[in-house]
Amino acid sequence: MEEGEGTSTAYRVARILVALGSAAVPVLLLLVLVGAPQWFPGTPDCAVTTRDQPVELSTDEAQSAASAAAKSVRLGVPLRTASVAVAEVLDIPEQDGRNVASALTGRSRHALSCRHGGSDDEEPDRLDRSGLTGRAAALRGDLDRAFGSQQVGGFAPGGVSSGHAPGSAHYEGRAVDFFFRPANKPNKTKGWAMAQYVVAHAERLEVETVIFDGRIWTARRAGEGWRSYSPDTTGRSAEVAAVLEHRDHVHVDVAG
Protein backbone atom coordinates (compact mmCIF):
# COMPACT_ATOMS: atom_id res chain seq x y z
CA MET A 1 0.00 0.00 0.00
CA GLU A 2 1.32 3.47 -0.86
CA GLU A 3 2.21 5.73 2.05
CA GLY A 4 -0.81 7.80 3.08
CA GLU A 5 -3.35 5.41 1.56
CA GLY A 6 -4.78 4.67 4.99
CA THR A 7 -5.10 8.34 5.89
CA SER A 8 -8.40 9.20 7.55
CA THR A 9 -11.21 10.79 5.56
CA ALA A 10 -11.08 13.92 7.73
CA TYR A 11 -7.41 14.46 6.90
CA ARG A 12 -8.08 14.04 3.20
CA VAL A 13 -10.88 16.59 3.43
CA ALA A 14 -8.54 19.00 5.19
CA ARG A 15 -6.09 18.79 2.29
CA ILE A 16 -8.92 19.49 -0.15
CA LEU A 17 -9.92 22.53 1.91
CA VAL A 18 -6.44 23.97 1.56
CA ALA A 19 -6.43 23.32 -2.17
CA LEU A 20 -9.83 24.90 -2.81
CA GLY A 21 -9.41 27.96 -0.62
CA SER A 22 -11.46 29.54 2.14
CA ALA A 23 -14.63 29.99 0.06
CA ALA A 24 -15.29 26.25 0.20
CA VAL A 25 -14.57 25.89 3.90
CA PRO A 26 -18.13 26.20 5.32
CA VAL A 27 -19.66 23.60 2.98
CA LEU A 28 -16.81 21.12 3.24
CA LEU A 29 -16.56 21.49 6.99
CA LEU A 30 -20.25 20.68 7.27
CA LEU A 31 -19.72 17.55 5.21
CA VAL A 32 -16.96 16.45 7.56
CA LEU A 33 -19.20 16.95 10.59
CA VAL A 34 -22.30 15.18 9.26
CA GLY A 35 -20.50 12.47 7.27
CA ALA A 36 -19.27 12.66 3.70
CA PRO A 37 -21.59 11.23 1.04
CA GLN A 38 -20.52 8.38 -1.20
CA TRP A 39 -19.47 10.63 -4.07
CA PHE A 40 -17.32 12.94 -1.96
CA PRO A 41 -13.58 12.76 -2.78
CA GLY A 42 -11.64 10.74 -0.24
CA THR A 43 -14.56 8.73 1.07
CA PRO A 44 -13.43 5.09 1.30
CA ASP A 45 -15.31 2.43 -0.66
CA CYS A 46 -15.23 0.11 2.33
CA ALA A 47 -14.20 0.18 5.97
CA VAL A 48 -13.64 -2.30 8.77
CA THR A 49 -14.60 -0.85 12.14
CA THR A 50 -13.49 -2.65 15.29
CA ARG A 51 -12.30 -1.48 18.69
CA ASP A 52 -9.09 -0.29 17.09
CA GLN A 53 -8.60 2.36 14.42
CA PRO A 54 -10.89 1.82 11.40
CA VAL A 55 -9.19 0.32 8.36
CA GLU A 56 -10.25 1.90 5.06
CA LEU A 57 -10.24 -0.19 1.90
CA SER A 58 -10.92 0.29 -1.77
CA THR A 59 -13.45 -2.00 -3.44
CA ASP A 60 -10.67 -4.08 -4.99
CA GLU A 61 -8.89 -4.37 -1.64
CA ALA A 62 -12.09 -5.43 0.14
CA GLN A 63 -12.77 -8.08 -2.49
CA SER A 64 -9.21 -9.43 -2.34
CA ALA A 65 -9.24 -9.54 1.45
CA ALA A 66 -12.68 -11.18 1.54
CA SER A 67 -11.60 -13.85 -0.92
CA ALA A 68 -8.46 -14.61 1.13
CA ALA A 69 -10.54 -14.76 4.33
CA ALA A 70 -13.11 -17.06 2.72
CA LYS A 71 -10.34 -19.48 1.79
CA SER A 72 -9.15 -19.39 5.40
CA VAL A 73 -12.68 -20.17 6.61
CA ARG A 74 -13.03 -23.01 4.10
CA LEU A 75 -9.71 -24.53 5.20
CA GLY A 76 -10.39 -23.94 8.90
CA VAL A 77 -7.12 -22.14 9.61
CA PRO A 78 -6.63 -20.08 12.82
CA LEU A 79 -7.11 -16.31 12.90
CA ARG A 80 -3.36 -15.73 13.16
CA THR A 81 -2.77 -17.46 9.82
CA ALA A 82 -5.71 -15.66 8.20
CA SER A 83 -4.41 -12.33 9.52
CA VAL A 84 -0.99 -12.85 7.96
CA ALA A 85 -2.57 -13.82 4.64
CA VAL A 86 -4.84 -10.74 4.59
CA ALA A 87 -2.00 -8.40 5.62
CA GLU A 88 0.15 -9.74 2.78
CA VAL A 89 -2.65 -9.47 0.22
CA LEU A 90 -3.33 -5.84 1.18
CA ASP A 91 0.27 -4.89 2.06
CA ILE A 92 -0.83 -3.35 5.36
CA PRO A 93 0.51 -3.50 8.94
CA GLU A 94 -0.05 -6.74 10.84
CA GLN A 95 -2.54 -5.23 13.32
CA ASP A 96 -4.65 -3.81 10.49
CA GLY A 97 -4.51 -7.19 8.81
CA ARG A 98 -5.76 -8.81 12.01
CA ASN A 99 -8.69 -6.38 12.24
CA VAL A 100 -9.69 -6.99 8.64
CA ALA A 101 -9.27 -10.75 8.97
CA SER A 102 -11.26 -10.77 12.21
CA ALA A 103 -14.18 -9.15 10.39
CA LEU A 104 -14.00 -11.20 7.22
CA THR A 105 -13.69 -14.53 9.03
CA GLY A 106 -16.81 -13.66 11.04
CA ARG A 107 -15.15 -13.14 14.41
CA SER A 108 -16.03 -9.42 14.40
CA ARG A 109 -19.72 -9.18 13.51
CA HIS A 110 -21.13 -6.47 11.22
CA ALA A 111 -17.66 -4.86 11.21
CA LEU A 112 -17.16 -4.47 7.44
CA SER A 113 -19.37 -2.30 5.29
CA CYS A 114 -19.04 -1.02 1.73
CA ARG A 115 -20.61 1.82 -0.26
CA HIS A 116 -21.57 -0.06 -3.39
CA GLY A 117 -23.82 -2.78 -4.74
CA GLY A 118 -26.97 -3.31 -6.77
CA SER A 119 -27.24 -2.53 -10.47
CA ASP A 120 -28.86 0.04 -12.75
CA ASP A 121 -29.44 -2.62 -15.42
CA GLU A 122 -32.63 -4.67 -15.39
CA GLU A 123 -32.41 -8.44 -15.66
CA PRO A 124 -34.85 -10.68 -17.57
CA ASP A 125 -37.45 -12.38 -15.36
CA ARG A 126 -36.49 -15.78 -16.78
CA LEU A 127 -35.71 -18.38 -14.07
CA ASP A 128 -33.32 -21.29 -14.44
CA ARG A 129 -34.29 -24.88 -13.65
CA SER A 130 -33.66 -24.33 -9.94
CA GLY A 131 -35.97 -21.28 -9.86
CA LEU A 132 -33.34 -18.54 -9.73
CA THR A 133 -32.58 -15.56 -11.94
CA GLY A 134 -29.20 -15.41 -13.63
CA ARG A 135 -27.76 -13.06 -11.03
CA ALA A 136 -29.06 -15.12 -8.11
CA ALA A 137 -27.69 -18.31 -9.65
CA ALA A 138 -24.31 -16.60 -10.15
CA LEU A 139 -24.35 -15.49 -6.51
CA ARG A 140 -25.07 -19.03 -5.31
CA GLY A 141 -22.29 -20.46 -7.46
CA ASP A 142 -19.82 -17.83 -6.27
CA LEU A 143 -20.49 -18.59 -2.60
CA ASP A 144 -20.20 -22.33 -3.18
CA ARG A 145 -16.79 -21.76 -4.74
CA ALA A 146 -15.68 -19.39 -1.98
CA PHE A 147 -16.91 -21.34 1.07
CA GLY A 148 -17.71 -24.81 -0.21
CA SER A 149 -21.11 -26.37 -0.87
CA GLN A 150 -23.80 -24.66 1.20
CA GLN A 151 -27.19 -25.59 2.64
CA VAL A 152 -29.56 -23.29 0.78
CA GLY A 153 -33.26 -22.53 0.40
CA GLY A 154 -35.83 -19.87 -0.44
CA PHE A 155 -36.26 -20.97 -4.05
CA ALA A 156 -37.64 -23.94 -5.98
CA PRO A 157 -38.09 -25.09 -9.59
CA GLY A 158 -40.78 -22.93 -11.14
CA GLY A 159 -40.44 -20.33 -8.38
CA VAL A 160 -42.00 -19.93 -4.92
CA SER A 161 -45.25 -18.15 -4.06
CA SER A 162 -45.54 -18.46 -0.26
CA GLY A 163 -43.55 -18.67 2.95
CA HIS A 164 -41.99 -15.21 2.80
CA ALA A 165 -42.98 -11.62 3.56
CA PRO A 166 -45.17 -9.78 1.02
CA GLY A 167 -43.07 -8.36 -1.81
CA SER A 168 -40.11 -10.60 -0.99
CA ALA A 169 -37.40 -10.99 -3.62
CA HIS A 170 -37.80 -14.74 -3.12
CA TYR A 171 -41.03 -14.59 -5.15
CA GLU A 172 -39.05 -13.23 -8.11
CA GLY A 173 -36.26 -15.79 -7.83
CA ARG A 174 -33.81 -13.06 -6.83
CA ALA A 175 -33.02 -14.28 -3.32
CA VAL A 176 -31.17 -17.17 -1.71
CA ASP A 177 -31.08 -18.17 1.96
CA PHE A 178 -27.85 -19.74 3.23
CA PHE A 179 -28.48 -21.74 6.40
CA PHE A 180 -26.22 -21.94 9.44
CA ARG A 181 -28.06 -24.17 11.88
CA PRO A 182 -28.31 -24.40 14.81
CA ALA A 183 -27.93 -20.70 15.59
CA ASN A 184 -24.96 -21.13 17.92
CA LYS A 185 -21.72 -19.18 18.20
CA PRO A 186 -19.65 -21.26 15.73
CA ASN A 187 -22.38 -21.10 13.10
CA LYS A 188 -22.92 -17.37 13.61
CA THR A 189 -19.20 -16.86 13.04
CA LYS A 190 -19.48 -18.76 9.75
CA GLY A 191 -22.61 -16.81 8.84
CA TRP A 192 -20.93 -13.47 9.47
CA ALA A 193 -17.95 -14.50 7.36
CA MET A 194 -20.30 -15.12 4.46
CA ALA A 195 -22.45 -12.02 5.08
CA GLN A 196 -19.44 -9.70 5.05
CA TYR A 197 -17.89 -11.47 2.06
CA VAL A 198 -21.11 -10.72 0.15
CA VAL A 199 -20.98 -7.05 1.14
CA ALA A 200 -17.34 -6.82 0.05
CA HIS A 201 -18.33 -8.28 -3.34
CA ALA A 202 -21.73 -6.54 -3.55
CA GLU A 203 -20.75 -4.47 -6.57
CA ARG A 204 -19.42 -7.44 -8.56
CA LEU A 205 -22.32 -9.72 -7.58
CA GLU A 206 -24.92 -6.93 -7.97
CA VAL A 207 -26.27 -7.51 -4.46
CA GLU A 208 -29.15 -5.42 -3.14
CA THR A 209 -29.71 -6.79 0.38
CA VAL A 210 -27.96 -8.89 3.01
CA ILE A 211 -29.71 -9.86 6.26
CA PHE A 212 -28.25 -11.91 9.10
CA ASP A 213 -28.48 -12.21 12.86
CA GLY A 214 -30.75 -9.21 13.42
CA ARG A 215 -28.79 -6.91 11.08
CA ILE A 216 -29.36 -5.66 7.54
CA TRP A 217 -27.19 -4.06 4.84
CA THR A 218 -28.71 -2.62 1.68
CA ALA A 219 -27.12 -1.14 -1.42
CA ARG A 220 -29.58 1.76 -1.39
CA ARG A 221 -28.54 2.76 2.12
CA ALA A 222 -24.99 1.47 1.96
CA GLY A 223 -23.61 4.66 3.46
CA GLU A 224 -25.34 3.76 6.74
CA GLY A 225 -23.55 0.43 7.01
CA TRP A 226 -25.15 -2.44 8.92
CA ARG A 227 -28.45 -1.44 10.53
CA SER A 228 -30.64 -3.10 13.12
CA TYR A 229 -33.22 -5.50 11.64
CA SER A 230 -36.25 -5.93 13.86
CA PRO A 231 -39.25 -7.59 12.16
CA ASP A 232 -42.54 -7.87 14.03
CA THR A 233 -42.40 -11.11 16.04
CA THR A 234 -45.45 -10.42 18.20
CA GLY A 235 -47.16 -13.64 19.23
CA ARG A 236 -44.46 -15.80 17.66
CA SER A 237 -42.57 -18.58 19.40
CA ALA A 238 -38.88 -18.09 20.14
CA GLU A 239 -38.01 -20.51 17.33
CA VAL A 240 -40.13 -18.68 14.75
CA ALA A 241 -38.88 -15.29 15.95
CA ALA A 242 -35.29 -16.46 15.45
CA VAL A 243 -36.06 -17.40 11.85
CA LEU A 244 -37.79 -14.08 11.16
CA GLU A 245 -34.80 -12.23 12.59
CA HIS A 246 -32.51 -14.33 10.35
CA ARG A 247 -30.54 -15.71 13.29
CA ASP A 248 -29.98 -19.02 11.51
CA HIS A 249 -29.56 -17.99 7.89
CA VAL A 250 -28.01 -15.34 5.67
CA HIS A 251 -30.54 -13.84 3.25
CA VAL A 252 -29.06 -12.35 0.08
CA ASP A 253 -30.99 -10.82 -2.80
CA VAL A 254 -29.70 -9.37 -6.03
CA ALA A 255 -30.86 -6.58 -8.32
CA GLY A 256 -33.84 -7.29 -10.54
Label each residue of 146-213 as H, E or C: HHCCCCEECCCCCCCCCCCCCCCHHHHCCEEEEECCCCCHHHHHHHHHHHHHHHHCHHHHCEEEEEEC
The identity of residue 169, as a single letter, is: A
Q: What is the mean pLDDT of the chain?
A: 87
Lowest mean pLDDT among 19-33, 131-145, 240-254: 19-33
| pLDDT for 5 beyond 80 | no
Which value, in Å, is the radius of gyration of the alpha carbons in the chain?
19
The secondary element (H helix, E strand) that includes residue 27 is helix 25-34
Query: Per-residue pLDDT for 190 more than 90?
Result: yes
pLDDT at 30 over 60: no
Q: Report the C-alpha gap between 13 and 43 in whole angstroms.
A: 9
